[in-house]
Amino acid sequence: MTDLYSLLPIVLLLVIFYLLVMRPARARQKDYQNTQAALEPGRRVMLASGIYGELVSLGDVEAELRIAPDTVITVNRQAVAKVADPSPTPEPESPND
């Protein structure tokens, strides 16, 4: 019984470590994977630096982001922090006159 009480502090430390470190890290990893899975051309996204833009194309490592009408920048795909618009932006329709 004394051996069990001597292991109790170690078990408590492991539980606290799991609750404070491992669980939040898993949640962040899952959130990151969901964000990367939601990326597709036409989506409005925000980079980790706070720059907003529309995805033009995606590669395995890089993404092209339109930040102004004639300005496309190439960024690392991991720099995309969140998808700002939940659905792709529709293309504007041209009038048929």
Tens of pLDDT along 12-29?
999 998 889 899 999 999
Tell me the three state secondary structure of residue 42.
coil
DSSP line for 28-39: HHHHHHHHHHT-
| Residue of 76, 72, 26, 89 lying closest to 47 (CA atoms) | 76
> What confidence score (pLDDT) does residue 92 get?
62
Backbone φ, ψ for residue 54 (5° rounding): -110, 130
Q: Note the pTM of the prediction, 2 decimals.
A: 0.65
Instruction: State the fold for domain 2-83.
Output: SH3 type barrels. (2.30.30)
What are the helix and strand counts (H, E) for the chain? 2, 5
| Domain range summary for the chain, segments of one domain joined by + | 2-83
Question: Which carries the bigger pLDDT value, residue 5 or residue 93?
Answer: 5
The residue type of 34 is: N
